[in-house]
Structure 1
Amino acid sequence: MTSVDVFHHDVPAERDFGYAQAIKSGELIHVSGQLSLDEAGEFRYADDLTAQARQTYANTDKVLNHYGVTRNQVISQTLYVVGLRQHATATAEGNLAYFGDHQPVSTVLGVPELTFPGQVIEISFIVATKLPA
């Protein structure tokens, strides 16, 4: 039988929308779209992709830490970016700053809008727990 481990940031949006930040089932962890929410669940850094990406990756680290894994075990990411052409360089810079030499597969989608006014990035992940940390 496969065990399931669910993680929450304990922010209002999780209850209001009815979702988990991450679910580990077997050797994979599926991480919901992370964004630039602070500890209280308030959206921060409207229209600033660089600051939003930094906070988004920090929130991702909280998820990874819960499961005792590292960013080197991320095998896939999907980035949703408002104004992708305008933010392409900042998106790439944020990705390189976070992952360094590690290169997960990646899909970057330009979208017309995201949940919060001024939100320009959201990132979901898949993590393989059996890969070296």
Structure 2
Amino acid sequence: MRDSGRQQDLSPGLFRSGSELFLQVPGWRVMQKQHLPAASLGVMGVLLALNAYAAPFGNTGVDGSIGALLAVIGAGTAALGAGLLVLGKLPHRLVWIAILVMVAVLTSLAAYFLMQFVLAGVMAAAALALILASLLDFRRGAI
């Protein structure tokens, strides 16, 4: 182990800063784990929206509709954006987070109008998770 100031390199790809352990993927910045809840909620939203659109378990009342397809696209965009925030591929800027919050809120609203209330709740929770993650970053001065 080598101590470089506040960081300790444990092995290629791993380092410790204070009490936290970080994974460094070559060519990527450090993973931003505070955005993991938003990414996982986004993936759940994609699965729920695909269920509403494709209706593999029976008639949902909106299967095959353009509104359900737009909910799939919105949930996919929110999941992809949050995933890119986790991987550090998007610039960690407030503008990107605000756009992703708006996408999640509008997808939640679309799901509400489609009467897919579980999807609406999951996407609203994803928007809230993005807001809370950015507030935590802002408090630490990382934005």
TM-score, with structure 1 as normaliser: 0.29
Q: Identify the structure with the greater strand proportion.
A: 1
Tell which structure's C-alpha radius of gyration is larger: 2
TM-score, with structure 2 as normaliser: 0.27
